[in-house]
Amino acid sequence: MMDLQLVALDWQQTLPIRHQVLWPNEPLEFCQVPGDIDALHFGVLNKSTLICVASIYIDQDAKSARLRKFATLPLLQGKGVGSVMIEHLITILKRQGIDYLWFDARASALGFYQRFGFEAEGDIFYKNKVAYYKMHKHL
């Protein structure tokens, strides 16, 4: 049984899971993105072990936010951890007056995001040979 806790993180704390899950064949520095210093970073702990991370980059003027580097450890994927994170992020963004959330989603995760009402827009595209769709939702 999991004992999940949502926590705020510093951007550096997100790097090990970003690296392990998203880009394991790249150097750790590859997992840092512009804007990390100013973004909001969150994690899900299971009994004090970090198992999921996500980062939000807010554009206050546009009342929009971008989700980036959302990753759950492979052995815990499909167990509701990511769902807890997405619901938490949406709640936080709504409280901050953000009404639009968007991101580039790996094609393999399309169904996951669609369950939360996110819609794909445009054609499939590739980053480092990985297929993506741009997705969005009005909050």
pLDDT for 2 equals: 79
Instruction: State the Cα–Cα distance between residues 55 and 75, nearest whole angstrom.
Output: 21
What is the radius of gyration, based on Cα positions, of the chain?
A: 14
Return d(Cα 56, Cα 118) in angstroms, integer: 16
Tens-digit pLDDT string for the chain (139 aa): 778 999 999 999 999 999 999 999 999 999 999 999 999 999 999 999 999 999 999 998 999 999 999 999 999 999 999 999 999 999 999 999 999 999 999 999 999 999 999 999 999 999 989 999 999 999 9
Provide the 3-class DSSP secondary structure of residue 28. helix
| Residue 31 Cα to chain centre, angstroms | 13
pLDDT of residue 3: 87
The per-residue pLDDT for 128 is: 86
Query: How much is the pLDDT for 115?
Result: 95
Give the pTM. 0.92
- Tens-digit pLDDT profile for residues 90-102: 999 999 999 999 9
CA–CA separation, 29 vs 49, rounded Å?
Answer: 22
Q: What pLDDT shows up at residue 116?
A: 96
Can you give the pLDDT at residue 97? 95
Pinpoint the alpha helices (H) of the chain. Answer: 11-22, 81-95, 110-114
Is residue 97 within 8 A of residue 58, CB to CB? The reply is no
Contact 101, 121 (CB under 8 A): no
The first and second tokens of residue 31, run together, are 């997992």
Residue ranges and CATH numbers for the domains of the chain are 4-102 (3.40.630.30)
Neighbours of 87 (CB within 10 A): 12
Joined tokens for residue 41: 């970073």
